[in-house]
Amino acid sequence: MKLILRILLSALAVVILSKVLPHVFVDSYTTAIIVAVVLSLLNFIVKPILVLLTLPVTILTLGLFLLVINAVIILLADNLIDGFTVDGILWAILFSLLLSFLQSILFSLLKEDEKS
C-alpha cells in the first residue's frame, strides 16, 4: 500500500511540474503514473551502474555530476515513454531538482499521516 501511495505522489509531482515548467510535457495522468514507475525502476537499476562508472568524475566535481546522471535518467525515461517530453538536458536537470524537492515534501506529508 505504501509503495502505491509513493508512486501516486510521484505521479502527482510529475503532473505539477509539467504544468509549471514550459519545456516538460505529460499528456495524461496515466502517463504520469507510468513516468513515476519507469523513473523508479531506472533509479533502482540504471542509476547505480552509472554512478559506479562515473565515480571518478563525481568525486572530482564534489558530487555535482550526480545532477547530470539524474538528467540522463530523465532523458532516458523521455525516450522510453510516449507522451512524456523533456526538451534538453538543462530542463531535465531542473525537472530532476524540482521533482526531488517536491517528492520530499509530499513524502514527508505521507510520513506525518502515518504517525497520527
pLDDT tens by residue, the chain, 116 residues: 788 999 999 999 999 999 999 999 999 999 999 999 999 999 999 999 999 999 999 999 999 999 999 999 999 999 999 999 999 999 999 999 999 999 999 989 888 776 66
Q: What long-range pairs does 40-46 form, CB within 8 A, spacing at least 24?
A: 40/7, 40/10, 42/73, 42/76, 42/77, 43/73, 46/73, 46/76
pTM: 0.91
User: What are residue 86's DSSP bridge partners?
Assistant: 24
**Enclosing H/E stretch for 77:** helix 65-80
